[in-house]
Chains A and B, each alone.
Chain A
Amino acid sequence: MKKIIFLLLAACSLQLAAFSQSEMYQKKMGETLTLLDSSKSMQDMQEVAAQFERIGDAEKTQWLPYYYAALTHVNLGWRLQPEEKDKNLEKANTLLKKAEAIEKNAELYIVEYMIALQQMTVDPANRYMKAKPVMDEALANAKKVDANNPRIYYMEANNVFNTPAAYGGGKDKAKPIFEKSVELYKSFKPASALHPKWGQKDAEAMLAKCSS
């Protein structure tokens, strides 16, 4: 009996080992993504970011874990005090660089844009001149690689929306860009269940705001 159990156990663990690199990854990523959706507090978000980073470090050849780790840092960064933002963005940037070392794609360019944008908001008066070309280039690169990515236009539209009307921004100018983004979201198919698909609801909500 003991022997059987042992053999079974051995077989089980062998099998476990066999799909650890793919199925375990899928499973763990799926779980962490669910965790990301439900995380509200800073602590939660930091934990999720750390988990993505660990997956990335363990996998070494997957850009998605690093991408989500960087993205989560950017998202939680908006809630930090200006003095703490730089430190957090430095971390986000390190993660982004790791992802980019594996693959360069539009989603990563979008994160690059988001990092530059947030860095600029810490001290706009002195950082704008340097940040602006970086931001422009990031979005231009994203478009070059994947012109139909709806998140590019969502980002762009947000920026226009937040610029006062007197300076060529405002909701009227942002509206057509949001429209384009929402349109593209309708036909957008993520490459896998793990690939980024965020932003659709936000873009729709913003479009509604522009129309009201």
Chain B
Amino acid sequence: MKPLLLIATILFSLALSAQVRITGTVKDNKGRVLAGATITLKGTYDGTVSDSLGNFSFRTFEKGEKILSAAMVGNKTVEQKINIAKENIQVDFVLKEEINELNAVTITAGAFEAGDKKKATVLSTLDVLTTGGANADISAAVKTLPGAQQVGEQEGLFVRGGAGYETKQFIDGTLVNNPFYSSVPDIASRGRFSPTLFKGTVFSTGGYSALYGQALSSALILESIDLPEQSQASASISPLFIGGGFQQLSKKKNASWGVNYGYTNLKAYFEIVKQTPDYFRVPELHSGDANFRIKTKRGMIKYYTTFGTINTGLRRPDIDTPGIKDAFGIDNLNWYNNLSWRESFGKGWKMNLGLGYSLNRDDLQQQLQDQQNNPKSFTEPWLVNKNFNIHQRQDLSQAKLVLEKKLSGISVLRFGGEYQYFWNKSTYNGYTSLLKDNFKALFSEADLYITNDIAAKIGVRAEQSSIIDKANIAPRLSLAYKTGKSAQVSLAYGEFYQKPEVLQLVQTTNLGYTRATHYIANYQRMTKDYTLRAEVFYKEYNDLVKTVPTYNNNGTGYAQGFELFWRDKKTVKNLDYWISYSYLDTKRDYLNYPGQLNPNFAAKHTVSVVTKRWVTKWKTGFNFTYSFATGRPYYNLSMNGVSGKMEIADQGTTKQYHNLGFSCNYVPTLGKSTKNFIVLVASVTNVLGADPVFGYNYSYNGARKEAIGLPAKRFFFIGAFFSWGVDRTQDAINNNL
């Protein structure tokens, strides 16, 4: 027995002494301790995890040449060859931080990202749908964000001292020529596109990417959804409209197609809710759309088309002649097509191709009528032009190609070009003008991530327009620096050019680009439950189009201000709210202004408070939006017959603007069925019945002025939306938990 015991003892001690201890530390390249890094002796079971101080230690029986590796999510794995003999081994690891999209800083100066594309979400599609008073209109919801003015008498986003036409909309990269329904004077119209078409929205209030151009002040960049989750049929019914549609997803879930149709008629509504104007043709709209989406090998092809008509006519008292009415009628047809193809080719190459064709036809007539609605004609020069017939057709064909090459880490280089062919034919009282423009642009942009904490976007864009026969080069630059776990600072600079408007080009094509220079500094702190943003900006406008004494590019201007945004989803249970504040100091000399004036669409202070409260027990959400703006200036500008110059004949400031919007959505099917979904929506704008004044119209001689207000104090809406085939119950729950 003895020898055996001896052997056992020897063996045991041998074993102990044969064990080698491996110790060390793990840090990142900035010297920060890494806790929880995995240490592995490759090919064996041996290893450990670094402790909270970044130290590790373990024993092994292994002998000879081995590889010791240290790995940590978010850092590059390091392997080290070691030779295990008798002595203990010490290995210190430095794991370089891996730059990845999850950790990297994002450039936020000037841009409000919405949707699920990035981790930074400010507004989602659901947010647009449930913003009280916005009536599911993207622009109306975006107006509750800082930077946008509360302009109620015309459509468009008036951003930071820019006019409505200085904001452009882009869908899947390509420009949308007529994003709003054609409107009648002094009444704002809605956007053509439903928020449900999009998975992501970026509202850029300035300093945006070199991929986009021809927008002097702002860009609204929309990204359409990919394949739907399931096949479904849908219907909607309201006293205002009816609609129905179908969406089919292929069995393999790699393709889908869909069609929708809607008809709107406000006749019944106008019977109940009296309108100030006298509608001789009540607004009537037809709209249809169709789409297909195909998943390719490593990408997606999407096609969307929509076709719409609108027909309306109304009479309002003529401001110059008592007893005479202006009867204005509009007949519009719009067809929009967008085909996009994105594909990855491997080796870090990606492509985005966008093709678009749109057509817009407007027939506008105005007639002076007497009390019996019979046409009247006058010889006074200021009245002659009030009888008019305008026929206008605009076509825009375009192609845009963006190539993307991945550089090291997540840094990328993008470059490409676009071509637009614009065709406009307008006939004004028999006088016809035809405009054609071949517009070309080349652009290149690099997103450079120096570390996870510092990023730069450097871009340049060159454009040439044949109609004005001029070219431009616009540099863009932005930087972002992460100051803390969820906080960051961004800076942006850029030059922006825009062609003169069609109405100006009809007069003369001897004009140049209008130009703006943006400087923006932004601070953002964002967690899952809170968002805080503060931004200051300075913008300089140059070469704005002036119409007096002759059409020229001598207009100038500036805009400066600061903006705050606060969103909180947590503090009060089931309540989500945000507050926006904008301070704007802006002046511009453009069109017929006699000098630099605060433009009539810009208010100094604007505040919006948006609240959303979901009441589980009632299966209902209640949403309020309150907007406030200080008064806007208004002017009566007239030509001084003696000096031949424009002068301010009268001016003032409108009263403050208040608007409380409300909507509620009741979802009775919650929990009852998993396939069918019903939501009832009720909403009203201007709940408190304020009488907003957006500005004044003056008579020709300046003796009379009339306030521009709303066609009716409030807009009421009730409607029911149904869908069959898709379980969206869970959706509603999770969105509101």
Q: Which residues of A contact B (CB under 8 A)?
A: 4-5, 8-9, 12, 24, 28, 43, 46-47, 50-51, 53-55, 57-58, 82-83, 86-88, 90-91, 120, 122-130, 132-133, 163-169
Does the CB pair B124–A126 fall under 8 Å? Answer: yes
Q: Answer whether residue B86 sits at the interface, using C-beta atoms and an 8 A cutoff.
A: no
Kindly list chain A residues whose C-beta atoms are within 8 Å of the C-beta of B433.
Answer: none
User: Which of B7, B102, B115, B737 sits near A87, CB closer than 8 Å?
Assistant: B102
Query: Which residues of B in the span 33-74 have a Cβ within 8 Å of any Cβ on A?
Result: 36, 38-40, 42-49, 51-52, 73-74
Cβ distance B363 to chain A, nearest Cβ, rounded Å: 42
Does B731 lie within 8 Å of A128, measured CB to CB?
yes
In the complex the two chains form, is A120's CB within 8 Å of B671's CB? no
The residues in B between 643 and 659 inclusive whose CB is less than 8 angstroms from any CB of A are none
Docked CA distance A93–B47 (Å): 21
Query: Is B733's CB within 8 Å of the partner chain A?
Result: yes
CA distance A167 to B45 in the complex (A): 48
What's the Cα separation between A54 and B66 when bound, in Å?
14
A54, A57, A130, A132 — most chain B CB neighbours (10 Å):
A54
Instruction: Mark each residue of chain B from 1 to 31: 1 if its CB lies under 8 Å from any CB of chain A, else 0.
Output: 0000001001100100000000000000000
Would B7 and A167 count as touching, CB distance under 8 A?
no
Closest chain B residue, CB of each to CB of A122: B528
- Determine how close the nearest CB of chain B comes to the CB of A60; give it in whole angstroms: 10
Distance in Å: Cβ of B215 to nearest Cβ of chain A? 27
Contact B528 A82 (CB under 8 A): yes
Choose one: B48, B126, B617, B619; the contact of A125 (CB below 8 Å).
B126
Q: Is the CB of B40 within 8 A of A57?
A: yes
Q: Is the interface of A mostly helix, strand, loop or mixed?
A: helix
CA distance A161 to B170 in the complex (A): 44
Contact B735 A125 (CB under 8 A): yes
Report the minimal beta-carbon distance from A114 to chain B, rounded to whole angstroms: 17
Q: B126 to chain A: which residues have CB within 8 Å?
A: 125
8 tightest Cβ-Cβ pairs between the two chains A and B? A168-B671, A124-B734, A126-B116, A167-B671, A128-B734, A50-B38, A167-B733, A47-B49
Complex interface: chain B residues within 8 A of A55 (CB): 45
C-alpha gap A132/B229 in the complex (Å): 9
B616 interface residue, CB < 8 Å from A?
Answer: yes
User: Does the CB pair A125–B124 fall under 8 Å?
Assistant: yes
Closest to B61 in A: A16
Is residue B674 within 8 Å, beta carbon to beta carbon, of the partner chain?
A: yes
> In whole Å, how far is B217's beta carbon from the nearest beta carbon of chain A?
28
Complex Cα–Cα for A165 and B674 (A):
14
Q: How many residue pairs bridge A and B at CB < 8 Å?
A: 107
**Interface CB pairs A-B, < 8 A, 23:** A9-B14, A43-B49, A46-B36, A50-B39, A50-B49, A51-B47, A54-B45, A54-B47, A55-B45, A83-B485, A83-B486, A86-B102, A87-B73, A125-B735, A128-B731, A128-B735, A129-B731, A164-B616, A164-B733, A166-B670, A167-B670, A167-B730, A168-B674
Residues in chain B near residue A168, CB distance under 8 A: 670-672, 674, 729
Chain B contacts of A123 at CB under 8 A? 116, 121, 528
Give the Cβ gap from A53 to chain B, nearest Cβ, in Å: 7
Known contacts A46-B36, A125-B735, A126-B115: A83-B671 contact under CB 8 Å = no
Q: Is the CB of A50 within 8 A of B48?
A: yes
A residues less than 8 Å from B672 (CB atoms): 168
Q: Given A8-B7, A87-B73 in contact, is the A166-B121 Cβ separation under 8 Å?
A: no
Flag whether B527 is at the interface (Cβ < 8 A). Answer: yes
Chain B nearest CB from A90 CB (Å) reads 6
Partner of B44, one of A5, A58, A127, A166: A58
Closest to A163 in B: B733
Residues of A within 8 A of B40 (CB): 50, 53-54, 57
Please state if A83 and B527 are interface contacts (CB–CB under 8 Å).
yes
User: Taking CB as reference atom, which chain B residue is nearest A123?
Assistant: B528
Closest chain A residue, CB of each to CB of B42: A57
How many chain-B residues does the 8 Å CB contact rule pick out?
48
Residues of A within 8 A of B616 (CB): 164, 166
Tell me how far the C-beta of B349 lies from the nearest C-beta in chain A, rounded to whole angstroms: 24
Query: Considering the chains assembled together, what is the distance between the CA atoms of A106 and B667 in angstroms?
Result: 36
The distance in angstroms between the C-alpha atoms of A201 and B40, with both chains bound, is 34
Q: Which residue of B lies closest to A85 (CB)?
A: B528
In the complex, what distance in Å separates the CA atom of A53 from the CA atom of B46? 11
Q: Which residue of B lies closest to A169 (CB)?
A: B671
Question: B228 — nearest CB in chain A belongs to which residue?
Answer: A129
Partner pick for B46 among A54, A124, A133, CB 8 A cutoff: A54
Bound-complex Cα distance A210 to B121 (A): 37
Question: Bound complex: CA of A43 vs CA of B52, how far in Å?
Answer: 8
Task: Pick from A58, A120, A129 the residue with the most CB of B within 10 Å.
Answer: A129
- Residue contact A165 to B52, C-beta cutoff 8 Å: no
Contacts A46-B36, A129-B731; is A166 near B124 (CB within 8 Å)? no
Q: Is the CB of B735 within 8 A of A166?
A: no
Cβ–Cβ < 8 Å partners of A129 in chain B:
229, 731
Type the 1/0 row for B662-685, where 1 means its CB is closer than 8 Å to any CB of A.
Answer: 000000001110100000000000
Could you tell me the distance in whole angstroms from the C-beta of A5 to the nearest C-beta in chain B?
Answer: 6
User: Other than the known A47-B48, A126-B116, what 13 A-B pairs have Cβ atoms closer than 8 Å?
Assistant: A43-B49, A43-B51, A50-B39, A50-B49, A54-B46, A87-B102, A88-B73, A90-B102, A125-B735, A126-B124, A128-B735, A132-B229, A164-B733
Known contacts A128-B734, A129-B731; decide if A166 and B48 are in contact (CB<8 Å).
no
Measured CB to CB, the closest approach of chain B to A172, in angstroms, equals 12
Chain B residues with CB under 8 Å of A46's CB are 36, 49
Nearest opposing residue in chain B for A82, CB measure:
B528
- Bound CA span A120–B737, Å: 12
Neighbour of B730 across the interface among A90, A122, A128, CB < 8 A: A128
Nearest CB of chain B from residue A79's CB, rounded to whole Å: 13
User: Chain A residue with minimal CB distance to B736?
Assistant: A125
Expressed in whole angstroms, the Cα–Cα distance for A122 and B121 within the complex equals 13
Q: Which residues of B contact A87 (CB under 8 A)?
A: 73-74, 102
Q: How many Å lie between the Cα of A73 and that of B729 in the bound state? A: 30
The one of A28, A126, A132, A133 in contact with B45, judged by C-beta atoms closer than 8 angstroms, is A28
What B residues does A51 contact at CB under 8 A? 45, 47
Given contacts A87-B102, A123-B121, A124-B734, A53 and B674 within 8 Å (CB-CB): no
A58 to B126, CA, bound (A): 48
Q: In the bound complex, how far is the Cα of B731 from the Cα of A180, in angstroms?
A: 27
Cβ of A169: which chain B residues have Cβ within 8 Å of it? 671
Residues from chain A with Cβ under 8 Å of B230 in the complex: 133
A8–B11 CA distance with the chains assembled, in angstroms:
9
Bound together, the chains give a CA A91 to CA B732 distance in angstroms of: 30
Most chain A CB within a 10 A radius of its CB, from B40, B49, B485, B734: B734
Q: Chain A: which residue is nearest B225 at the CB level?
A: A129
- Compute how far the CA of A54 lies from the CA of B116 in the bound complex, rounded to whole angstroms: 35
Residues in B489-527 with C-beta less than 8 Å from chain A: 527
B735 touches A124 (CB 8 A): yes
- Residue among A8, A91, A120, A167 with most chain B CB within 10 A: A167
- Choose among A12, A124, A166 the residue that contacts B671 (Cβ–Cβ < 8 A): A166
> Residues of A contacting B10 with CB < 8 Å?
5
Query: Per-position contact with A for B605-644: 1 when CB-CB < 8 Å, else 0?
Result: 0000000000011010000000000000000000000000
* Residues in A neighbouring B737, C-beta threshold 8 A: 124, 164
Give Cα distance in the complex from A91 to B38, angstroms.
Answer: 12
- In the bound assembly, the distance between CA atoms of A55 and B662 in angstroms comes to 60
A195-B256 Cα distance, complex, nearest whole Å: 42
Per the bound structure, the CA–CA distance linking A124 and B674 in Å amounts to: 18
Pick from A86, A88, A130, A163: contact of B116, CB below 8 A.
A130
Question: Would you call A127 and B729 a contact (CB within 8 A)?
Answer: no
Contacts of A120 in B (CB 8 A): 734
**A28→B116 CA distance, assembly (Å):** 43
Would you call B38 and A53 a contact (CB within 8 A)? yes
Q: Name which residue of chain B comes closest to A42, CB basis.
A: B36
**A residues in contact with B47, CB < 8 Å:** 50-51, 54
Within the assembled complex, what's the spacing in Å between the Cα atoms of A147 and B186? 65
Shortest distance between the CB of A181 and any CB in chain B (Å): 21
Shortest CB distance B458–A (Å): 29
Closest to A29 in B: B45
Return A129 CB to nearest CB of chain B, in Å.
6
Q: Which residues of B contact A43 (CB under 8 A)?
A: 36, 49, 51-52
